[in-house]
């Protein structure tokens, strides 16, 4: 299935937002037993590290890559490259394995998943913002 170039940004928005929401939900559900200022700070730190060093750069990189495509229609999975799909698979497998193994204490799940989920959700929302911007720019460039 092929979609318009800008639709790739919308697909990235939906995938990353759904992933972020689900991870954030897991973290928030584990948080009630661990409400403390230090945990809030640690969640913010996790959020900042992931947003600043990973997901913020990822959004910019993939938005630029998609915007540089010459053809208008692309295979719908081209919203990411192979490396990004591999990273996503490793992160999902690692997270599921970590939780299923019971190796991570609930406090870690609460703090880490809340920060990570919020950063993933923001990345999804930023892809959505970029989709809207690209769509508006396309509409404004249409001949009258």
Q: For residue 84, what pLDDT is reported?
A: 83
* Tens digit of each residue's pLDDT, the chain (144 residues): 999 999 999 999 999 999 999 999 999 999 999 999 999 999 999 999 999 999 999 999 999 999 999 999 998 988 888 888 888 889 889 988 988 898 999 999 999 999 999 999 999 999 999 999 999 988 777 665
Print the SS3 string covering 5-58.
Answer: HHHHHHHHHHHHHHHHHHHHHHHHHHHHHHCCHHHHHHHHHHHHHHHHHHHHHH
For 76, phi and psi rounded to 5 degrees?
A: -60, -20
Q: For residue 3, what pLDDT is reported?
A: 92
Domain boundaries, the chain: 2-140
Q: For residue 114, what pLDDT is reported?
A: 98
Q: For residue 54, what pLDDT is reported?
A: 93
Q: For residue 77, what pLDDT is reported?
A: 87
Torsional sign, CA 68, 73, 79, 82: negative
Maximum separation of any 2 CA atoms in the chain, in Å: 61
- How far the first Cα of the chain sits from its last, in Å, is 31
Q: For residue 144, what pLDDT is reported?
A: 54
Q: State the Cα torsion 104-107-109-113 to the nearest 10°.
A: -140
Q: State the Cα torsion 54-105-107-34 to the nearest 10°.
A: 170
- Gyration radius (Cα) of the chain, Å: 17
């Amino acid at each position: 299935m092929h979609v318009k170039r800008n639709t790739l940004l919308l697909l990235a928005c939906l995938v990353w937002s759904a992933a972020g929401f689900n991870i954030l939900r897991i973290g928030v559900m584990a948080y009630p037993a661990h409400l403390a200022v230090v945990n809030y700070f640690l969640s913010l730190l996790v959020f900042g590290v992931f947003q600043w060093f990973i997901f913020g750069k990822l959004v910019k990189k993939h938005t630029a890559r998609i915007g540089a495509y010459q053809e208008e229609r692309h295979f719908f999975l081209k919203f990411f490259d192979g490396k990004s799909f591999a990273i996503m698979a490793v992160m999902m497998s690692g997270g599921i394995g970590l939780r299923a193994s019971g190796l991570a204490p609930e406090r870690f799940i609460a703090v880490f998943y809340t920060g990570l989920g919020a950063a993933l959700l923001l990345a999804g929302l930023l892809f959505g913002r970029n989709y809207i911007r690209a769509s508006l720019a396309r509409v404004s460039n249409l001949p009258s």
